[in-house]
């Protein structure tokens, strides 16, 4: 069930009405849980069992971890949980990737592993990371376990961010759940503001650009090099607005119930270098990788060479997290190398105030690099990535010139709009929505999305992960 569907609107209204009528805190949690399971089952009910299994397993392990005084047994339980979680993720997401790669490599020796017809359970990458971090945090004593299986189930399945994040930490959500569902005029307006903002980002901007970039990445060889450049750069904005639009909508829906989700994007194209970019792009994943992969690997505490290696490995695995294909591995690897170079070369003081004149061009460089690296991210196969790259290098410059006006227009608005917001220190998330005069501006977002929605709404890019 997509956020942009009648079915979701019906579910949302129903849940809101029920929660308004029923005041009991536990009953409200049950309503949220049932709504979340219905939301998930609507995609594919067969995987609801898997979600329930993972949730129950990690909850009981965390309870056991809390009660057990035996360090060795605790460690075994932690390893068991991590192994099962990763095995499930690995089987559903990576089994065919590894067997396919193995077969391609060793088929000449007569070796062949069977490939299975596996459907990827939606949201598995997101909820697996959440349950993993929960168990690890409980083990380390960084977070307290959920008060009940019901609380923990609501945390894992909370429907606004179940299928595509942001990746939540228990320490962020469980205290909010203790406070319970909180209705207020401010929450409602803030939720409406975020949802409208996400709607505009998705249906008006990202989907309009998608109409162009889909062409570029389908049949790149028929377009001129200049046209391919436009499409490649615009895709950076598309993926940003597609995903941040989803995050905004998720934040908006969660806010209707009084819950705050972690911030996932913070004007990433105003970044002064790549280090800053990853502190502003898909923050919930970046922080997860930092806390549960990069730092345990040693972080930057073990010398320069090891720091670069840790960074590279983290980005490589981050790439693989996005999808089971060599494109994503290479994409992650490219970012790992670029980040290493950036770390070695850049002397940027990120605590310094951002200035339009001094830092704008750096933002443009970061933006250009993200677009170029996205060739690997977006291409349906390595052959297409190769063809697009040839066009970018003007090796095959001839082809149809297409102006792609909406893509250019939206790209300029998004990039330079970001500059203005950062230079003027405008934070749209903190506008005082209680003022009546903000209402027309919130309504204008919905009107804009309705009037300027692209012809067809494409699925959210991050749903496939």
Q: Which stretch binds other proteins (CB under 8 A): 78-86, 97-105, 368-376, 403-411?
A: 403-411
79 in contact with other proteins (CB under 8 A)? no
Nearest distance from C-beta of residue 211 to other proteins, angstroms: 5
230 in contact with other proteins (CB under 8 A)? no
Question: Which of residues 47 and 404 has its CB atom nearest to other proteins in the complex?
Answer: 404
CB 345, CB 275: distance < 8 Å: no
Q: Which stretch binds other proteins (CB under 8 A): 28-36, 100-108, 340-348, 423-431?
A: 423-431
| Backbone φ/ψ region at 298: left (φ over 0), alpha (ψ -120 to 50), beta | left
> ∠167-173-179 over CA atoms, to 5°?
160
Strand boundaries in 169-248, DSSP class E:
none
CB 374, CB 327: distance < 8 Å: no
398 in contact with other proteins (CB under 8 A)? yes
Contact pattern for other proteins over residues 326 through 365, marking x by CB under 8 A = ----------------------------------------
Among 22, 211, 287, 368, binds other proteins (CB under 8 A): 211
200 in contact with other proteins (CB under 8 A)? no
Residues 366-385 that bind other proteins (CB under 8 A): 380
10 in contact with other proteins (CB under 8 A)? no
218 in contact with other proteins (CB under 8 A)? yes
406 in contact with other proteins (CB under 8 A)? yes
For residues 331 and 314, what is the distance between their CA atoms, to the nearest angstrom? 12
Query: Token digits for 194?
Result: 């975020």
Nearest CA to 356 out of 268, 265, 278, 270 is that of 270
Q: Which stretch binds other proteins (CB under 8 A): 84-92, 300-308, 355-363, 436-444?
A: 436-444
Among 73, 400, 413, 420, binds other proteins (CB under 8 A): 400
Nearest distance from C-beta of residue 435 to other proteins, angstroms: 5
For residues 116 and 110, what is the distance between their CA atoms, to the nearest angstrom? 19
405 in contact with other proteins (CB under 8 A)? yes
Report the catalytic residues. 322
Nearest distance from C-beta of residue 218 to other proteins, angstroms: 5
Q: How far is CA 444 from CA 69, 193, 200, 439, 452, in A?
A: 58, 10, 10, 8, 12
Query: Token digits for 196?
Result: 């409208």
Write the DSSP string, 95-142: HHHHHHHHHHHHGGGT-------PPPPTTHHHHHHHHHHHHHHHHHTS
For residues 44 and 7, what is the distance between their CA atoms, to the nearest angstrom? 15
**356-378 and 326-345 are packed helices; what angle lies between their axes, rounded to 10 degrees?**
160
Question: Helix (H, G, I), strand (E, B), or coil: what is residue 396?
Answer: coil
Nearest distance from C-beta of residue 51 to other proteins, angstroms: 29
3 in contact with other proteins (CB under 8 A)? no
Question: Which of residues 86 and 443 has its CB atom nearest to other proteins in the complex?
Answer: 443
436 in contact with other proteins (CB under 8 A)? yes
Question: 400: which strand partners?
Answer: 223
Bond prior to 350 in cis (omega within 30° of 0)? no
Question: Which of residues 8 and 102 has its CB atom nearest to other proteins in the complex?
Answer: 8
Question: Which of residues 263 and 313 has its CB atom nearest to other proteins in the complex?
Answer: 263
447 in contact with other proteins (CB under 8 A)? yes
Among 139, 241, 404, 460, binds other proteins (CB under 8 A): 404
Nearest distance from C-beta of residue 63 to other proteins, angstroms: 40
| Backbone φ/ψ region at 399: left (φ over 0), alpha (ψ -120 to 50), beta | left
Q: Which stretch binds other proteins (CB under 8 A): 103-111, 130-138, 279-287, 450-458?
A: 450-458
Sign of the four-CA dihedral 383, 389, 391, 395: negative
**225-256 and 356-378 are packed helices; what angle lies between their axes, rounded to 10 degrees?**
100
Question: Which of residues 173 and 402 has its CB atom nearest to other proteins in the complex?
Answer: 402
Q: Which stretch binds other proteins (CB under 8 A): 86-94, 169-177, 294-302, 424-432?
A: 424-432
412 in contact with other proteins (CB under 8 A)? no
114 in contact with other proteins (CB under 8 A)? no
The contacts of residue 181 (CB under 8 Å, 6+ apart) are 19, 25, 28, 29, 32, 257, 258, 259
Residue 55 CA, chain-centre distance (Å), reads 21
451 in contact with other proteins (CB under 8 A)? yes
Residue numbers at the binding site for other proteins (CB under 8 A): 211-212, 214-215, 218-219, 222-223, 380, 398-406, 425, 427, 430, 432, 434-441, 443-444, 447-448, 450-451, 453
């Amino acid at each position: 069930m997509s956020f942009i569907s009648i079915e979701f609107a019906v579910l949302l209204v129903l849940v809101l009405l029920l929660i308004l009528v029923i005041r009991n805190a536990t009953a409200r949690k049950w309503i949220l849980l049932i709504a979340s399971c219905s939301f998930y089952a609507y995609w594919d009910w067969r995987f609801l069992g898997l979600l329930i299994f993972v949730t129950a397993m990690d909850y009981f392990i965390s309870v056991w971890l809390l009660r057990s005084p035996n360090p060795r047994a605790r460690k075994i339980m932690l390893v068991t949980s991590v192994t099962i979680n990763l095995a499930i993720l690995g089987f559903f997401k990576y089994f065919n990737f590894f067997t396919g790669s193995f077969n391609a490599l060793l088929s000449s020796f007569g070796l062949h592993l069977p490939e299975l017809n596996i459907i990827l359970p939606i949201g598995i990458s997101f909820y697996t990371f959440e349950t993993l971090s929960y168990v690890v945090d409980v083990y380390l004593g960084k977070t307290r376990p959920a008060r009940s299986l019901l609380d923990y189930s609501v945390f894992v399945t909370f429907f606004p961010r179940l299928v595509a994040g942001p990746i939540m930490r228990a320490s962020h959500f469980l205290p909010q759940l203790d406070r319970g569902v909180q209705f207020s005029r401010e929450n409602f307006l803030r939720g409406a503001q975020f949802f409208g903002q996400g709607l505009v980002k998705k249906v008006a901007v990202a989907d309009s650009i998608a109409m162009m970039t889909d062409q570029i990445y389908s049949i790149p060889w028929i377009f001129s090099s200049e046209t391919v450049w436009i499409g490649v750069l615009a895709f950076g904005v598309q993926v940003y607005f597609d995903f941040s639009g989803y995050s905004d909508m998720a934040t908006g829906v969660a806010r209707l119930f009084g819950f705050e989700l972690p911030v996932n994007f913070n004007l990433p194209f105003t970044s002064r270098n790549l280090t800053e970019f990853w502190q502003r792009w898909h923050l919930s994943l970046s922080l997860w990788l930092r806390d549960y992969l990069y730092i345990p690997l040693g972080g930057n505490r073990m010398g320069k060479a090891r720091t670069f290696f840790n960074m590279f490995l983290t980005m490589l695995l981050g790439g693989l997290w996005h999808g089971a294909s060599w494109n994503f591995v290479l994409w992650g690897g490219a970012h790992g190398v670029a980040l290493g170079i950036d770390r070695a070369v850049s002397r940027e003081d990120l605590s310094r105030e951002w200035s339009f004149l001094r830092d704008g061009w750096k933002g443009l460089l970061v933006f250009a690099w993200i677009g170029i690296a996205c060739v690997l991210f977006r291409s349906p196969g390595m052959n297409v990535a190769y063809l697009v790259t040839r066009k970018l290098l003007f090796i095959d410059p001839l082809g149809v010139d297409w102006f792609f006006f909406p893509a250019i227009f939206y790209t300029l608005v998004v990039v330079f709009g970001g500059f203005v917001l950062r230079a003027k220190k405008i934070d749209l998330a903190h506008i005082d929505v209680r003022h009546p005069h903000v209402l027309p501006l919130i309504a204008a977002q919905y009107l804009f999305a309705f009037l300027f929605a692209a012809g067809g709404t494409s699925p959210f890019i991050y749903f496939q992960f």
